[in-house]
Amino acid sequence: MSVPIEITDLRVAYESDVEILRGVNLCAAANTMTAIIGPNGAGKSTLLKGVAGVAPVTRGEVKLGERRVEGLPTVDLVKAGISFVPQESSVFGQMTVAENLRLGGWHRRSERDWLNQRVQACGALFESIRPYLERKAGDLSGGQQKLVEIARGLVGEPSLLLLDEPTAGLSPVMVREVYRELARLKERRSVTVLLVEQNVREALEVADRVYVLAMGQNDTEGTAEDVSERLESIVRNWMSREGSGVVS
Amino acid sequence: MSAGADHGTKPMMDQLIVQSLILGLLQGGLYALLAVGLSLVFGILRVVNFAHGEFAMLGSFAAVFAVTSFGMPAWAALIAAAAAGALVALITNVVVLRPIYLSRMRQKGEYTIIATFMLSQFLIAATTVLFGTTYRNLPGLWESNLNFFDYVYLSGNRLVAFSAAIVMIGTLFWIVYRTDTGRAWRALTQSPLGASVVGIDIHKYANYAFLVSGAFAGLAAGLLAPLMFVFPSSGVVALVKAFIVVIIGGMGSIGGALAAGLLLGVVEVMGTIFVASGYTDAYGFALMIAVLLLRPAGLFGKMGRAI
């Protein structure tokens, strides 16, 4: 079951003196797709990592439905229904694609029938990996590995899906496959999605709402249509800024 | 040399080669058992554990005291050795290493090296203060010399030690490839980030890895105790052997540790018998240097990192 997410004044610092995220606010209704865009170093990926529990949150709140989840270990966040597909490669290269997918349902591994069915269903999502379920994931191309990670992120039937630049480094065919699946997810309205993307125009096409970050803070926000219309001025604004958003 | 002498020398030489080969393999099985835990922990946590030898040393002390102070049989002493090694390893992970993983400091890997090295020195010093520097010995499970067809002669204790080592490493393979714990370990080895995002409890499985690592080191030391002496700095020798094995086999590879352990045992025994008897340790170092020069990732190369 999908849930809303509310992020209030979220701060993340990898080391005590280097704050990457400096009080970000975001609100996404259940079953919606929210795109997060911004220039390099804006803190987009760090925001998802903070929510997913793989970057240290130093202050602020993350509410998943009615439950506060900031600072929980990733094990509990996954059990709470959060699935994170990081930008960095996180595939298990020496395992088969099917084994990778099976690990996507790790928190419900005792429910074997359910897990088998989910592995089958998610293994069939992308044409580019469907024939290779028994092949070692490390032998696939970088793009195919990314699709394996996205499919793995869906195995556990998450209520909140965090996608960090899912199309980075993918071929145009694979980008279309990813966006076709995102469109399907949106149509089914079964999961809340936070999507960080560099392919801004494609992201705007599937998103309901858009947040723009710059220098570790909120810059602007609006519906996808609204941000599409203002996109040129928003980008011009990015270009005029200096620095990467890292404050020391 | 006459033809008759040649006829007599060749079978003797064949026998010596077979005898040394078997002795080397038996010794190598124990080296593999010592090293496999070190390799497992490195593969899963990227921790180079300099206190691994002390897990072995404390295991062998536990075995000695189980027999000498509590009158336990030799087989129970081995269980005591494994339990002591496992307990110390678990405490090391929870008390010394976990605070480093959880901290936000840079260069955590370097801090784990320093922390485990200091722990190793502390454990040696504490053992010396508590138990003195006396060399101790332990009775074995099979105190007899075996004669196979008047051709190969072996110590029963060596045979028991080797068999136990192979059974334990076989069990570890089964755990790694057939159980959820093994799947979690393999996932952590191949992608710590991936393991984290699918919800694998890193701390829990790190504890399991340290438990197994310590138990194997303790058991190996308990099995070696009837063949060698037990003293506070005996762990240093164990650590050096384990490092050589892990470097030769490929860091993080269980299969590599097994193959490299056997190879190290054979090279040491063969070198001692056929080259010169005073340089047993040097043959191992020479082999390690050769591997580092020719295959820096170890004999099992990249593949081996997947445990």
Q: What is the pLDDT of residues A121-136, one digit of tens each?
A: 999 999 999 999 999 9
The range of the structural domain enclosing residue B63 comes to 24-233
Question: Who among A13, A73, A104 is closest to B198 (CB)?
Answer: A104
Backbone φ and ψ for A8, nearest 5 degrees, come out as -125, 120
> Which residues partner with A85 through β-bridges?
A163
Percent of chain A scored above 70 by pLDDT? 96
- Is A75 close to B197, i.e. CB distance below 8 A? no
Q: What is the pLDDT of residues B58-95, one digit of tens each?
A: 999 999 999 999 999 999 999 999 999 999 999 999 99
pLDDT at residue A177 above 50? yes
The answer to whether residue A7 is domain-embedded is yes
pLDDT in tens, A20-66: 999 999 999 999 999 999 998 899 999 999 999 999 999 999 999 99
The set of long-range contacts for A71-77, using a CB threshold of 8 Å and a minimum separation of 24, is: A73/B201, A74/B196, A74/B197, A74/B199, A75/A107, A75/B199, A75/B200, A75/B201, A77/A52, A77/A53, A77/B199
Residues A134 and A64 in one domain: no
**Is a pLDDT exceeding 80 seen at residue B157?**
yes
Residue of A20, A94, A248 to mutate for B, most B C-beta atoms under 10 A: A94
Out of A15, A88, A106, name the one closest to residue B199 (CB): A106
Helix H, strand E, coil C: the string for chain A is: CCCCEEEEEEEEEEECCEEEEEEEEEEECCCCEEEEECCCCCCHHHHHHHHHCCCCEEEEEEEECCEECCCCCHHHHHHCCEEEECCCCCCCCCCEHHHHHHHCCHHHCCCHHHHHHHHHHHHCCCCCCHHHCCCEHHHCCHHHHHHHHHHHHHHCCCCEEEEECCCCCCCHHHHHHHHHHHHHHHHHCCCEEEEECCCHHHHHHHCCEEEEEECCEEEEEEEHHHHHHHHHHHHHHHHHCCCCCCEC
Is B225 within the bounds of a domain?
yes
Flag whether B94 is in a domain.
yes
A168 shares its domain with A147: no
Amino acid identity, residue B174? Answer: W
Q: How far apart are the CA of B198 and the nearest CA of chain A, in angstroms?
A: 5
Task: Tell me the residue type at A209.
Answer: R
Query: Would residue B253 count as lying in a domain?
Result: no
Q: Quick one: pLDDT at residue A18?
A: 81
Q: Is B3 or B283 the better-scoring residue by pLDDT?
A: B283
Q: Report yes or no on A182 lying in a domain.
A: no
The pLDDT confidence band at residue B307, using thresholds 50, 70 and 90, is low
- Say if A166 falls within a structural domain: yes
For residue B2, what pLDDT is reported?
45
Residue with token string 């049989």 = B73
B140 domain-assigned: yes
Select from B104, B106, B191 the Cβ nearest to the Cβ of A92: B191
Co-location of A22 and A3 in the same domain: yes
ipTM given for this complex = 0.91
Q: B284 vs chain A: nearest CA distance in angstroms?
A: 30
Which of A13, A86, A94 is nearest residue B306 as measured by Cβ atoms?
A: A94
Rounded CA-CA distance A75/A79 in Å is 6
Residue A165 in this model has a pLDDT that exceeds 70: yes
Predicted local distance difference test score (pLDDT) of residue B233: 96
Say whether both A19 and A45 belong to one domain. Answer: yes
pLDDT at A245 (0 to 100):
42
> Within this chain, do residues A101 and A1 fall inside the same structural domain, yes or no?
no
Note the pLDDT of residue B150. 87
Q: How many domains does chain B have?
A: 1
- Are A165 and A70 found together in one domain? yes
At B186 the pLDDT is 95
For the segment B239-294, what is each residue's pLDDT rounded down to a tens digit? 999 999 999 999 888 899 999 999 999 999 999 999 999 999 999 999 999 999 99
Q: Specify whether the CB–CB gap between A195 and A172 falls below 8 A.
A: no
The pLDDT of residue A2 is above 90: no
Q: Is B142 among the domain residues? A: yes
The least confident of A86-95, B43-52, B293-302 is B293-302
Residues A63 and A169 in one domain: yes
A187 or B73, higher pLDDT: B73
CB distance from A153 to chain B under 8 Å?
yes
In which band, very low, low, confident or very high, does the pLDDT at B303 lie, cut at 50, 70 and 90?
low
**A–B interface: beta-carbon pairs under 8 A:** 70
Averaged pLDDT score across all residues of chain B: 92
Rounded Cα distance between A125 and A148, Å, is 10
Of B140, B139, B45, B129, the C-alpha closest to B89 is B45
Cβ neighbours of A86 in B, within 8 Å:
193, 197
Q: Is residue A33 part of a domain?
A: yes
Check which CATH number belongs to the domain holding A13 and give it: 3.40.50.300
State residue B10's pLDDT score. 76
Is B221 among the domain residues?
A: yes
Is 50 exceeded by the pLDDT of residue B138? yes
* Cβ–Cβ gap B187/A92 under 8 Å: yes
Residues 24-83 of A with CB under 8 A from B: 52-54, 56, 73-75, 77-79, 83
pLDDT higher than 50, residue A244? no
Cβ neighbours of A92 in B, within 8 Å: 186-187, 190-191, 194
In a domain, B178, yes or no: yes
Which of A136-140, B103-107, B298-302 reaches the highest mean pLDDT? A136-140
Per mean pLDDT, which range of A234-243, B41-50, B114-123 is the poorest?
A234-243
Domain that holds residue A109: 92-157
- Please give, rounded to a whole number of angstroms, the shortest distance from the CA of A91 to a CA of chain B: 6
Number of compact structural domains in chain A: 2
Q: Is residue B249 part of a domain?
A: no
Q: Are residues A21 and A40 in the same domain?
A: yes
Same domain, A201 and A116: no
pLDDT of B174 above 60: yes
DSSP label of B153: E
Q: What number is the average pLDDT over the span B37-59?
A: 95
Question: Would residue A185 count as lying in a domain?
Answer: no
Q: What is the pLDDT of residue B70?
A: 96
Task: Tell me which chain A residues have a C-beta less than 8 angstroms from the C-beta of B184.
Answer: 106
Please check whether residues A24 and A140 belong to one and the same domain. no
pLDDT of amino acid A247: 37
Q: How confident is the model at residue A248 (pLDDT cuts 50, 70, 90)?
A: very low
pLDDT band at B6 (very low <50, low <70, confident <90, very high): low
Q: Is the pLDDT confidence value at A246 over 50? A: no
